[in-house]
Every structure is written in C-alpha cells, then in structure tokens.
Amino acid sequence: MTALIYPKLAWSGIWKNKKLYIPYLLTSIGMVAMFYIVSSVSYSEGIRGISGGDTIVEIMGFGSGVMAIFSAIFLFYSSSFLMRRRQREFGLYNILGMGKRHIGVIMLFETVFTSVISILLGLLFGITFSKLAEAGVHYIMKAEVGYEMTVSPEAILLALPIFAVIFTFILLVNLLRVRLSNPIALLHSESAGERPPRANPVLAIGGVVLLGIAYYIALTTANPIMALALFFIAVIMVILGTYALFISGSVFLCRVLQKNKRYYYRSDHFISVSSMAFRMKRNGAGLASICILLTMVLVMLTASFSLYSSEEDILRASYPRSILCQSGFNTFKDFENDETAASFRKTAEKALEDAGCEPENGYFFRMAYMICGMIDGSFTSFNDPSVNMDDYYYQSGSNNMYNLYMVPVRDYNEMYGTDYTLADDEALIYTAYEDYNDSVVNIKHIGEFRVVGHVDEMLDCDKIMISAYPTIILLVSNTGENLEPLEKFMSRYYHYGFDVADGTESAARQAIYNIELTDDGEQIYPGLFSLSFSSREFDRIDFFSMYGGIFFLGVMLSIMFMLAAVLIIYYKQISEGYEDRGRFEIMQKVGLTKKDIRRSIDSQMRTVFVLPIAAAAIHLAFAFPMLKRLLLMFNFKNGPLLLMTAGACVLIFAVIYLIVYKLTAGAYYRIVSSGER
Amino acid sequence: MSMLEVTHLKKTYTTRFGGDKVEALRDVNFTVESGEYVAIMGESGSGKTTLLNILAALDRPTGGKVVLNGLDLSTVKESAMASFRRDNLGFVFQEFNLLDTFSIEDNIYLPLVLSGKSHADMKRRLVTLAEQLGITDILKKYPYEVSGGQKQRAATARALITYPQIILADEPTGALDSKATDELLTLFSNVNKTGQTILMVTHSVKAASRAGRVLFIRDGEVFHQIYRGEQTSEELYAKISDTLTMLAGGGEIK
C-alpha cells in the first residue's frame, strides 16, 4: 500500500501539470519517432537494394547520430524547464516531512512514466511513419516502392538504449538539483529574488563585433574552398554573437529606450519596455536559441532543396553530352599530333557503330591541365620542385590556388565554329569563379602569353571545375613541344563527348570500355596510356542518392529543429504567463484597463515574435553569398532558384511560426487572465 | 452632501454548484465626509474585504448602491471602470503591490502614465510628494532594494499622485514592523490633515486608533461606530479594545 503511494504521487504530479507535460511528451515522442525513422532508413534492406542506396544508408547513419545529439540537448532543456516549475511542489513535499530520498523515488517514477510513454509511442509513430519516409526516399531517388510494412528491429534496438541513457541522465541531473537545494529554497524557487538586469555593454558590443566579422567573412570570401573552411568559423561566430546580442544587447536597447523619457513614459511603451528589459536577460537565451534553430532550418532547407531541385541542371552542366570519354597522354608531342587525334576519334566512333550506337552532337578537344599557385608573378605548378612549398601558402594569402588549363585554339574553333588565329605568344582566356584582368599570363618555365581576348563558353568546364579553385582556361596556338618544360607538371587529356539514342547508352558504355589500347603489346596510339568514360546516367544515380539523401535528412532535421523551437516558444510563453499573472493583477488594481493589458501584451508579443525570425532572416541574407559559393562546389549555379527557395523558406517558416505563436499566446492569455478577480 | 454614501449594500456569493448562498454583506449603510479619516474594523470573514472591493469598484454589489461625489458606481460602464478607478481612487495594499520590473519612481508614475500625463507633469507632482513622504532618496531604486516601510510609502505615493477623491487602504500596516507601522500611520495622519479623505480597513487597533472615526462590521452589517471627537489616540485605542472585546463576547453595545 505504501509502496503504491510513490507511483500514485508521480502520476498525479504529471497529470496536474499536464499543461507542461503534454508538450514535453509530444516533443520526446517526436524525437524518438524521428530518430527511429532516420535510423530505420539507414538499416533498410529495401533502400540498400536500390542503386545508390549505399550512399543514402551512409548519410542516414550519420544523420541518426546528429539526431541523437540534438534530441539529448532539446530534451535536457525542456526537462530543466519542467523541473523549475515543479520545485515548489517538491519543496512542499519536503516540508510535509518527505525526505529527499522519497522525492527522488517520485522523480524516478515520473521519469519512468514519461520515458516509457515517450519511447513506446515514439516507436509506434516511428514505425507508422517510417513506411512514409521510405516511400519519400524512394520518391526522391526516383525508384520503385514496395508496399509491405516493415519493422526495423535494428533501429528499435538502437533507439531503446540511446533514449534510455538520455532519460536516465536527465533524471540524474534533476536528482542532483533537488539534493543540492533546501526545502525553503524549493518552496520559493519560483519567486526567488528577482533583480532587474543591468545592461552589459561589453557583451553587447562583443556580439555586434562577432556578427560583423561573421557577416564580413560571408560577404567577402570569394574562394569556395576558403568559404567551406570559414563557413564553420562564421557559423560559430554567428551563434555566439546572436546569444550575446539577445542576452545583453536587448537589455541595453531597452535601457536606452527607458532613458528617453518621451518614448518611455507612454502607456503603450511603459509596461512592455520595462518588462522586456527585465526578462530579456533570462529569456534572451531562449530567443537566441529560437533564432539559431530557425536560421539552421532555413539554411539547411534552402541549400538542400535548391541542390535537389536543380539536379537536372547540374547534371546537364556537368555532362553536356550523355557520355564523355577521356584519354590521357604521356607526352606533349604525342598529345599534339593531329593525326592521332583524328584517328582516336574514328576508333571510338567505329567501336560505337559496331555496337549499334550512333554518336550524335559529338565534340572533341585536347586539354592540358595543372594545379598551380601564383608565385613571383607567374603561375607555378604545385609539383615544381624548384619552388619552396611555403611560398604557395604565404606569398599571396591562402587563396593562392588555381586550375590552369591549356587548349589548342584550333580545337576550340572546330567545336564552336569560330576562326580565331593566335600568334605563339597570344592567348584567349576563359575564367570561372574569379575574373582574370591582367593583360598577360605568365607561366613559369614557359613565359608570357598576351591576353588578346575572352571567350564566354567552354564545354566540360563544369565537370573539370568540380575542385572549385578559380579556374583559368587558356586557348593557345599550340599545345605541343612548346610546352615541354611543363611535361612533368601537366596532365594531358582528349575529351570526346557525344549523345546516343535513348536505350543504347549502356551498349555505348560497353563499346568504349571494350576498346583495346594495345595491339600485340603495342600501344595503338603512341603515348596513350588511359581511356576512361563517364556518363550522365551513371552520375544521376549517385547524384540522387547523395543530394536526395541530404535533402531528406535536411527535411528531418528541420522538422526536429522546428519541434524544438516550438517547444521553447511554448515554455517561454507559459513561464512568462505565470510571472506576469501577479503583475497584471496589481496593475489592474492600480487602474490598468483590460484593453491596456491586451495592448501591452500584444506589443511585447510582436517584438518577441518578430525578433528571432527577423534576425534569422538577416542571418540567412548574409549567409546567402557564402551559400552560393559553397554550392558552386556542387556545380550549383542557379542563383535565382536559390534566392527563391530562401524566400519561400522564410515565408513558410514565418507562417508556421506565426501559427505557433498565436496558439501559445492563447495559453499565455488564459494564464494571465485566470489570475484576474 | 457626503463624499461617499453607501446605502443598503448587499453582496451574496453563490457557491459554484448553485445551492448554498453566502451573505458577505447583508445591509451596510454609512457615509464618509470629505476630508474624513475612517477606519473599518472587523474580524476575518466579517465582510471587510468584500466591502473594500465593492468600494474599489473591483466587485459589483448584489443590492444597494455606492455613490461617490454624487456618481452612482453602478452606472459606470465596465469599460470605463478602470479609468474611473485610476482617476478617482487611490489604493494602498497590505502587500504593497509594487511591480518588481519598475524602479520606485516608475512604480509611482504608473497610474499617471496610464492616464497619458506628460513626463514634466508627472515629475512636478512627484517632487513635492516625494519630499512629503520622505522617499526622495530611494526613487531610483528597485523594490527589492528597499525596506517594507519604504515600499509602503512608495505605494502611498503611487496612490496619492493621481490626486484621488479618496484613498482606500487595505491593511496597510499588515506587513510592517512596529516602527514602520508608526511611521506610516503618522504619514497617513499628515496626509489626512492636508484634506485627503482616507478609508482604511484594518485589524490593527493601533492603526484604527489614529483614525477620526472607526466603523465595526460584523456578519455583513455595520454594527457600531466610534467617533474620535476630542479624544487622544490612546483614549480611542482603549475604547476600540473594549468594543472588540464586547464584539468577541457577542454582546450588544448601547
């Protein structure tokens, strides 16, 4: 009988505080369900079976790790909020003669109840929705879906211990919290001596500076590789800066407003400004968290959706034709030989025709290539032993890396029907990522080329530029023996691209694959050492599984972050409601009308509502140029699409956020007005 | 004409599930003249608080009426009630009811800000008032930084700054120590001497003995009243004590 009192007290504690516990349970159920879904995708045989499924499985494996970490953080946050509100009750139990050990037992039961509910219902929802998620993955990857219902025991076995550990850890921390407190403190913990915060200008200025630097980095980093490295630094600075600004900057701003007597002593500003100044320090962190979560969601969805939705564009840019053959040569001499070039093309065409394929829209050019740095005014290969490596890195900053390509101008003329003629020291130039505005290009060991003009298009440059360094393509009169000093530093390839009729692609691939490079031990072309092909359809599968997986994970993480943001907003409103109840009661006695209450609450709500999403939108706006450059590495160049996606994401989340706010504001009004006479 | 006229005031509470009716006020009649200092005494449950809530227009009577300066409170619309309260009544509460989000100064300004007064006007009013109440030094402080007595003086300032018709004080000394109580009561007397009408509900014989007239409420009716006349506070104190003893014994006073 007495043993039963603890579970009973625990259950009634949950039930009496259902306004707090139901959102908590919903969130933890959601977290468990989503963890299950993501990890069940990572264990799914059905998905592993489809081509490219391995990539998805890998991404989801990584994704479930990320989800577990964020679940732990969010659940920990919400339970600490719950505990703050419950301490009064525990204090009362303590004063009524219940030892801390007994309170601990009650908390144990509460944790058992909540975690069992969360895990069971979470798995149930997870299993229900995982089929939907799997269908989603199949849809994203454009594969067929099976309709049998599956349960993933591996995912369950993974979810169980992870969430058991999270809940146990939360319980331990809460127990410690009760242990360290005394009953009177527990009883009064809600109304513990509140002092209005002083503005901390150092923190506020620090926040502004951090954000300024991060924004500056985002706006000015031109090189995608640098952008990738600096992106994370910028992200961390933005996070710190946002917290500093919300916590201190807002108090500082309120204090400034309070100094302005004309502004402050007006009935519509008086109450809202003072109570915002008062609570910003504590709730600034909450607002900053909401802002950061929203920013993450916006960036993630914008990037992953843009990538995913422009898959065909990117593929077509990477593969102007459905198949591309590349063959490598050992020497410039053999590479430059026009007979070899013509004969190579004929051999390939014949092999294709023998296989019953008709190559169309064929193009052909020769291209020599090296990665180099700008040293003492000339482009120098990274493999050049005569140069100290340090010079590459220190001479002109860390951006000192270029892709340098050289193409004989007659190949270009044939491809594009132009008739450029160049002297030996002249060059036409094509650039990507960075403009090149000098009138000469100086290449170490070779000498100077005068830039006589720019060309606007170059096939295959998207494919070859995937490394994302600034790229310079030089069209020159010859790429033969004149370049021999660079023989060891450059690689030389023929590019032969063509379309084939639908359905004959795999036959074409096979035909290219079957071309023999040697005949009786002799190379069919002198100096030819490799022949490789790549195909749009082949890459499409990789593409879908990679970008599709990222997109799917992006959506799942967005849902999770949104859940967390909603929970934070809700708890914020509830706790402010309890705090404000007494204040509004007093103010009504002093002569505050119901209309005034409504107005002052609305004005506060508007500010508090607008702040995080406005800040998130500003973050996104500044992240935009950087995002654009990062996506270049995936060959994504569709700026307008990215902009539209970003705009749409902001709009969608503003609407969701507005709805959530309206709903939680209702809870707030009810709490405040329940204290009225 | 009296400043405040209360006639046949009646308040009946109905318990939530219908059935039982509780009569908090049965038939209360009294008047307060302008410039008077009236204390209302009675035991817990005698209807004091209900009476004060009705006078403060925080609650509506079941029957009878309250007339303040010729205005029947029942004719004031619900929407206009808050501003009526703000402009005509000043409140001092047992638990001070200062807002922790405001400095003392801003707490005092609150009703004026709500009435839309200019800052210059508010400042002008506060300067003299703060001097009179001895709170000039603590204006910039926050409620948690000052003592209970100082808080109550600040609350009094908040009540007085609107130049109300009448001050309604609900156990103003209930949360104060004896020294602070003496100071506050002296303050009330001084305020009253400037012509301010005060109506105070209290348990404390000491507080009541400083008033000009003491009303006793029992079972929802005004049961008895004592005028100070020419008596000193000590004499009045003794008389109130006697009355309370009689009340406790359930006897009748002639």
Q: Which residues pair with A429 in a beta bridge?
A: A454, A474
Domain assignment present for residue A125? The answer is: yes
Domain assignment present for residue A473? The answer is: yes
CB atoms within 10 A of CB A272: 21
Is A266's Cβ below 8 Å from some Cβ in B?
A: yes
pLDDT at A462: 58
Comparing CB atoms, the residue among A266, A274, A592 nearest residue B82 is A592
Q: Which residues pair with B221 in a beta bridge?
A: B27, B218
Scanning the structure block, which residue is given the tokens 């509100």?
A85
A325 and A311 in a common domain: no
Determine, for residues B101 and A586 on separate chains, whether the beta-carbon distance falls below 8 Å.
no
Q: Which of A158-162, A282-286, B205-209, B212-216 has the lowest mean pLDDT?
A: A282-286
Domain assignment present for residue A540? The answer is: no
User: What chain A residue is nearest to B88 in terms of C-alpha separation?
Assistant: A591
Asked if the model's pLDDT at residue B167 lies above 70, the reply is yes
H/E run at residue A79: helix A53-95
Q: Is the sign of the CA dihedral B112, B113, B115, B120 positive or negative?
A: positive
3-state secondary structure A519-574: ECCEECCCCEEEEEEEEHHHHHHHHHHHHHHHHHHHHHHHHHHHHHHHHHHHHHHH
> Domain range for residue A60?
1-192
Is B238's Cβ below 8 Å from some Cβ in A?
A: no
A590, A592, A598, A599: best mutation site toward chain B, by most B Cβ within 10 Å? A590
Q: How many A×B Cβ pairs under 8 Å?
A: 78
Is A259's Cβ below 8 Å from some Cβ in B?
A: no
3-state secondary structure A222-238: CCHHHHHHHHHHHHHHH
Determine, for residues A588 and B93 on separate chains, whether the beta-carbon distance falls below 8 Å.
no
Is B76's Cβ below 8 Å from some Cβ in A?
A: no
Q: How far apart are CA B2 and CA A476, in angstroms?
A: 110
3-state secondary structure A467-482: HCCCEEEEEECCCCHH
Cross-sheet strand order for the sheet of B18-32: B71-72, B63-68, B4-15, B18-32, B221-227, B213-218, B37-42, B197-202, B166-170, B89-92
What is the DSSP annotation of A413-476? Answer: HHHHT------TTEEEEEEESS----SEEEETTTEEEEEEEE----TTHHHHGGG-S-EEEEEE
Could you give the 3-state DSSP secondary structure of residue B217? strand
Question: Is the separation of the CB atoms in A307 and A554 below 8 Å?
Answer: no
pLDDT tens column, B225-247: 899 888 888 899 999 888 888 87
Q: What percent of chain B has pLDDT over 70?
A: 96
User: What chain A residue is nearest to B114 in terms of C-alpha separation?
Assistant: A267
B168: closest CA of chain A, how far (Å)? 11
Distances from the Cα of A537 to the Cα of A318, A354, A467, angstroms: 12, 22, 21
A382 and A314 in a common domain: no
Q: How far apart are CA A405 and CA A418, in angstroms?
A: 19
What is the DSSP annotation of B41-66? Answer: EE-TTSSHHHHHHHHTTSS--SEEEE
A65 and A186 in a common domain: yes
Domain assignment present for residue A496? The answer is: yes
Domain assignment present for residue A585? The answer is: yes
User: What chain B residue is nearest to A195 in terms of C-alpha separation?
Assistant: B144
Distances from the Cα of A220 to the Cα of A247, A354, A471, A492, A619, angstroms: 28, 54, 19, 34, 15
Is B97's Cβ below 8 Å from some Cβ in A?
A: yes
A344 and A290 in a common domain: no
Is B86's Cβ below 8 Å from some Cβ in A?
A: yes
pLDDT at A120: 94
Question: Is the separation of the CB atoms in B165 and B196 below 8 Å?
Answer: no
Asked if the model's pLDDT at residue A520 lies above 90, the reply is no
Q: What is the average pLDDT score of chain A? A: 81
- In chain A, the number of structural domains is 3
Determine, for residues B158 and A590 on separate chains, whether the beta-carbon distance falls below 8 Å.
yes
H/E run at residue B168: strand B166-170
Domain assignment present for residue A545? The answer is: no
pLDDT at A57: 80
> B29: pLDDT confidence band, cut at 50, 70 and 90?
very high
Mean pLDDT of A222-239: 78
User: What chain B residue is nearest to A266 in terms of C-alpha separation?
Assistant: B113
> A676: pLDDT confidence band, cut at 50, 70 and 90?
very low
All residues at 6 or more sequence positions from A487 whose CB lies less than 8 Å from its CB, including other chains: A331, A332
A276 neighbourhood in chain B, CB within 8 Å: none
Determine, for residues B82 and A593 on separate chains, whether the beta-carbon distance falls below 8 Å.
yes
All residues at 6 or more sequence positions from B42 whose CB lies less than 8 Å from its CB, including other chains: B48, B216, B217, B218, B223
pLDDT tens column, A93-139: 777 777 778 888 888 999 999 999 999 999 999 988 887 777 777 77
pLDDT at A197: 63
A372 and A332 in a common domain: yes
Q: How far apart are CA A381 and CA A490, in angstroms?
A: 8
Domain assignment present for residue A623? The answer is: yes
Q: Is the sign of the CA dihedral A153, A157, A159, A163 positive or negative?
A: positive
A512 and A415 in a common domain: yes
Question: Which of residues A141, A161, A192 is at a domain's end?
Answer: A192
A300 and A402 in a common domain: no
Is B15's Cβ below 8 Å from some Cβ in A?
A: no
Domain assignment present for residue A552? The answer is: no
A227 and A110 in a common domain: no
Is B59's Cβ below 8 Å from some Cβ in A?
A: yes
> A632: pLDDT confidence band, cut at 50, 70 and 90?
confident
A258, A265, A587, A595: best mutation site toward chain B, by most B Cβ within 10 Å? A265
Q: How far apart are CA A261 and CA A242, in angstroms?
A: 29
> A616: pLDDT confidence band, cut at 50, 70 and 90?
very high
HSE value, Cβ hemisphere, 13 Å, CA-based, for A548: 27
Tokens of residue A184, six digits: 């009177």
Sort strands A522-523 and A518-519 into parallel, antiparallel or unpaired. antiparallel
pLDDT tens column, A500-515: 887 788 888 888 888 8
Distances from the Cα of A6 to the Cα of A15, A371, B5, angstroms: 14, 71, 58
A522 and A418 in a common domain: yes
Q: How far apart are CA A573 and CA A667, in angstroms?
A: 8
ipTM: 0.76
Tokens of residue B104, six digits: 């003392």
Is A263's Cβ below 8 Å from some Cβ in B?
A: no
Mean pLDDT of A7-35: 87
Is A275's Cβ below 8 Å from some Cβ in B?
A: yes
Four-point Cα dihedral B39, B43, B47, B48, nearest 10: 30
H/E run at residue B19: strand B18-32
Is B43's Cβ below 8 Å from some Cβ in A?
A: no
Scanning the structure block, which residue is given the tokens 């309206």?
A662
pLDDT tens column, A432-481: 777 788 888 888 888 889 999 888 888 776 555 455 677 888 999 888 88
A11 and A135 in a common domain: yes
Q: What percent of chain A has pLDDT over 90?
A: 9
Q: Which of B43-47, B97-101, B104-108 has the lowest mean pLDDT?
A: B43-47
Mean pLDDT of B151-166: 91
pLDDT at A165: 93
B122 neighbourhood in chain A, CB within 8 Å: 265
User: What chain A residue is nearest to B87 in terms of C-alpha separation?
Assistant: A591
Q: Which residue has the higher pLDDT, B176 or B250?
A: B176
Q: How far apart are CA A616 and CA A296, in angstroms?
A: 9
Determine, for residues B113 and A265 on separate chains, whether the beta-carbon distance falls below 8 Å.
yes
pLDDT at A185: 65
B77 neighbourhood in chain A, CB within 8 Å: none
Distance of CA A339 to the CA centre of its chain: 50
Of the candidates A569, A598, A593, the residue with the CA atom closest to the CA atom of residue A657: A569
Determine, for residues B101 and A274 on separate chains, whether the beta-carbon distance falls below 8 Å.
yes
Of the candidates A464, A450, A472, the residue with the CA atom closest to the CA atom of residue A374: A472
A17 and A166 in a common domain: yes
User: What chain B residue is nearest to A191 in terms of C-alpha separation?
Assistant: B100
Q: How far apart are CA A173 and CA A188, in angstroms?
A: 20
Comparing CB atoms, the residue among B82, B97, B101 nearest residue A591 is B82
B102 neighbourhood in chain A, CB within 8 Å: 274
A274 neighbourhood in chain B, CB within 8 Å: 101-102, 106
pLDDT at A192: 44
Asked if the model's pLDDT at residue A235 lies above 50, the reply is yes
A430 and A284 in a common domain: no
B119 neighbourhood in chain A, CB within 8 Å: 261-262, 265
Q: Which residue has the higher pLDDT, B6 or A145?
A: B6
Is B116's Cβ below 8 Å from some Cβ in A?
A: yes
Q: What percent of chain B has pLDDT over 90?
A: 30
